[in-house]
Each structure stands twice: as C-alpha cells, then as structure tokens.
Structure 1
Amino acid sequence: MLREEADEISDRWVQLQLAQPSLDGEVSEAELGEEADALVSALLSGLDLGLPVERVVTSHEEMHRTVSEISMRRARRGVSPTATSLAVLSLKQALLESVQRRTRAGDDLFPSAVLINRLLDSAGALSFETFVEGREEIIRRQSQQLLEVSTPVVRLWRQVLAVPLIGTLDTARTQVVMENLLQAIQEHEALVAIIDITGVPTVDTAVAQHLMHTVNAVRLMGADCVISGIRPPIAQTIAQLGIDLSTILTRATLADALGEAVKLTDAAVPDHAPLDKR
C-alpha cells in the first residue's frame, strides 16, 4: 500500500495537519509536504527491513532521524509538544483510510489497524520525547546567553573594571560573573575590579559567600576588589547575619567605589599621564 499510494498518503497527511488549529500557521504547506514525503519514505524503508513493528521507529536510523528532525524543527518554531505529537499521530488516519480503500475483508482490516497503531504510537512517543529534549536544550542555551548578557564587565577607567549586578545572585550566575571578570582583568591588565550590588534585592549568607569567592578569585589575579551599592537595609541585614566582610573594601555607591579605584590605580602606577585615564 505504501509503495503504490505513497504520494496520496503524503498529500492526505498534509491536509489533515492543515486542518489542525494547533499548528496555527507555524509550518507552511510546502514544509509539511517535504516532511510528509520524508516520513512516508522512511516508514517504507523501515518496514522493508522486517523489524518488529515496535522497533521500526527506534531501531531504523532513517525513521528515527526523520521523526526527530520534525520534532526539533517544530520545537524551534514554538509549536507545542502536544500539537507536534498529534501531527505525527494524524498519519494514522491517512494510512487507515488507504487501508480501508484497499481492503474489503474485515479480518484483514483489523490487524492492519492494530499494526498501524503500534507503529505510529512509537513515532508519537519519540516525537514528544525529542521535542521536550529540544526545548530544554533551547531553554538552557537561552538561559546561558541571558546570564552572560545580564553580567556585563564594563571598563570605567584606566585599569578599572566594573560588574553591575541586577537580580538574584546564585551559584550559576556567580560562576559566569567570575569567568567574565577574570577574563576581562587579564585582557585589560586591570588593577581594580568593582562589583556593584545596587541592583541586588537582598544579601544573605549564600550571596555573601558567592561575593567572597569572586573577590578571592580577583585577588589571585593580582587585582584589588571593591564592592559598592551597600544600601542601609543591606548593611543592616549583613550585620544581623554576622557576615564578615571586613576583609573586603566596600563603598556605598558606585561613584565612591570609582573614586577609590582611581586612587588605587594612581598609587600603583604614578607615572601615567592624565590623558591615559580616558
């Protein structure tokens, strides 16, 4: 049936998908046609191998790759995993209609229907699994990009860098801050790094530990570290928690920290001309 009616089955599957409101125009008819031709071809190739029907999708490389590519493509388009699975499963109807046209005996129709369901249930499960994995990978990549964007290292002065932090400071973000800052210290031969926490809503023991780790790493690079943005509520919280920041140079505002950083760099490199401070 697949060999003789491959084109008709592909076209029917495209029409069934277009009738699903869940796709909502995310995939064009031309793309659906290409996907349908590829999947029907892979299905035929898999069945020719004589594998158990439950293993055609998982064990046949072409079939597995085709279903996975369809799922990943739709994941990137923002189509829901349910809509993607239903799109794959709608191939059942196209196949069953073709079987019904060619089969008159009920004894042949029922086992054919069972075989089609077993085959495409596996494809639907694979498409859902691949879709979820693909979306998780996209989310992880976007989260990493957001972390890097949200922790910029800014050159404020000759050999003075600053990292303005906004939002919660957790372990993952601290690692990004540390990596970006240490790399920038090496590139700019910085002597002072300012970590501004004006935009950090709260400072607890965990946040303080993250800051200490970053400060220690900066010192190992041979630079001084200044923490700015210590607002009165945060200072009170730090005191109540008994957090010891006595070994770290702190200032209330970024402007104060920059002034202190300029003094430190001038003391370290007294022979630089003023024009070199731009």
Structure 2
Amino acid sequence: MVDALSEVAASGRLEDVAAPGFDPVREQLGRMAASRGRRGLSPARIAGEAAALRAAAAEVLGVEDQGSTGREAQAVLLALTVLMGTLRVVIMETTAGAGEELIARQRQQLLEVATPVISLWEGIVAVPLIGTLDSARSQVVMEALLHAIVERRARYAILDITGVPTVDSLVAQHLMKTVAAARLMGADCIVSGIRPAIAQTIVHLGIDLGSVLTRSSLADALAHALTRDGIEVSRRAAGAGPR
C-alpha cells in the first residue's frame, strides 16, 4: 500500500483518483471490500479503517503530526493529508462497486433459486412462476426451461402462472417468447393457472394467446399432457375407497 501511494505521490497527481498508482490499491481494496462486505461492514467503516493508515505512513516517512516545524515536514504532512483524502474517495468507489457486484450476483442466484424446473412425469416438466415476471427473470426462466427440455428429453413443458399476481402485455410477451423457444426445442408448451381475473385482463388488453395452449390449473395441464401421451386419466368417484 505504501509503495502504491509513493508512486501516486511521485507522479504529483495527489488529487486524481485515476492516477495509475491507485490501480494496485484498487485490487487490494477490492479483495478487502469483498471480505468486509460479507461481514456486513459499510463502505464508510472501511474508509475509516483506511484512514488509520495515515499515522503509519507518517511514521514510515519519518515525520510526526505534532511538533513538525520544518517546511519540508509540513509539506510532507500536507501532501500526505491530501493523498489520504483521495485514497478515501478511491475506497468509497471501490467498495460501492464491489457491493453492487455482490448484489447483482445475489439477485441472479435468487432468480435461479426462485425459478425451479420440476419433473412431473417422464417427459413432462413444469415451471411454477411466483411473483412478477420481468425481463431479467423471463430470461432465466427461458434458459432453465430449455436446459431442462434437453437434459430430461421433455416432450411437454408447463408454465404455471398461478403465483403471478397480474398479467400485462409485457408478461404476455415474455410467455409467448418462452413458448416459442420451447417449441423450437421440440416440446409442446402449456400455460396453466389462468384465473378468471387474469382471463378478463387478457381480454381487456386485447392480448392474443390463441396460439398458446392454456389450462386453468396445473393439474388440468398435467392431465392434458398425459392424455396426449396415451395415458388414460380418470377422476375417482366421490366416496370411492382406495384401490
């Protein structure tokens, strides 16, 4: 750290956060910020820790904060103060960037965890969607579904939107793209969970889902896929005992 700061001081760019000497500082700070961030420390706390380097740097330079009367010593302390101030700015930028990267990774992981692909039957997979379906999540859904279709040799893919609160034109567009991609992979796609309120919204918005096979529930979608696969599905009569 001292060598890096010395390089910045030698360049005369004490107030320039883009000075080349700060590059190794950023690398070291990036590692430090990542470990501190995992422990829940804020960028301000990390900057405060780095501020303690000033006393150590002054000691290395052979000057003291108190009692320095020589012009050279005062100039060194002034330059050191300016340099440490710039270093704090670099720390804030680096830690903020590391925090944004961590948040982005965590968000991607949450999207993947919140979008599981379930095997309902041999050759039949389903994706239960819960929450808002935005562009980022729809991309994760499409990638996960296509991967499952290939890996499990699925002939039918069910998109269950029972847990999707509202369906607008953007959500419908995402669903249409996913259905089209599944068809290109050789799987018939069924959209289930069409509740009365969602059906009315789709009609009022004038969204055309005529080319998409829909069912009111996941059970109905599974029964349709099984029937298409040559498996007879029948409802048990009320009061009938187990067989």
TM-score calculated relative to the size of structure 2: 0.83
CA–CA distance in structure 1, aligned partners of residues 95 and 65 of structure 2: 33
The residue aligned with 1:233 is 197
CA–CA distance in structure 2, aligned partners of residues 218 and 104 of structure 1: 75
Q: Which amino acid aligns with 2:101?
A: E
Distance 1:104 1:259, change over 3 A: closer
Q: Which amino acid aligns with 1:72?
A: A
The residue aligned with 1:81 is 43
CA–CA distance in structure 2, aligned partners of residues 66 and 57 of structure 1: 16
Contact in 1 for aligned 2:58/2:77 (Cα 8 Å): yes
**In the alignment, which of 21, 28, 33 is matched to residue 71 of structure 1?**
33
The residue aligned with 2:214 is 250
Which moves more between the two structures, 74-83 or 249-258?
Answer: 74-83
**In the alignment, which of 185, 194, 203 is matched to residue 167 of structure 2?**
203
The residue aligned with 1:120 is 84
1:130-209 equivalence runs, <5 A: 130-209=94-173
CA–CA distance in structure 1, aligned partners of residues 187 and 81 of structure 2: 66
* Structure 2: 5+ residue stretches without partners: 232-243
Distance 1:51 1:68, change over 3 A: farther
Larger helix percent: 1
CA–CA distance in structure 1, aligned partners of residues 81 and 166 of structure 2: 55
Which moves more between the two structures, 132-141 or 70-79?
Answer: 70-79
Q: Which amino acid aligns with 1:117?
A: T
Which moves more between the two structures, 88-97 or 190-199?
Answer: 88-97
CA–CA distance in structure 2, aligned partners of residues 57 and 77 of structure 1: 28
In percent, how many aligned pairs have the same letter?
Answer: 47
TM-score calculated relative to the size of structure 1: 0.74
Residue 51 in structure 1 maps to residue 15 in structure 2: no
Paired positions, count? 227
The residue aligned with 1:17 is none
CA deviation vs aligned residue, 1:3-60 (integer Å, no higher than 9, x gap): xxxxxxxxxxxxxxxxxxxxxxxxxxxxxxxxxxxx346546x47x833252699423
Which moves more between the two structures, 159-168 or 116-125?
Answer: 116-125
CA deviation vs aligned residue, 1:132-174 (integer Å, no higher than 9, x gap): 1111111111111111111111000110000000000011111
CA deviation vs aligned residue, 1:87-122 (integer Å, no higher than 9, x gap): 212333555687336854153453222111121122
CA–CA distance in structure 2, aligned partners of residues 99 and 57 of structure 1: 27
Query: CA-atom RMSD, angstroms?
Result: 2.5
Q: Which amino acid aligns with 1:59?
A: P
Distance 1:63 1:152, change over 3 A: closer
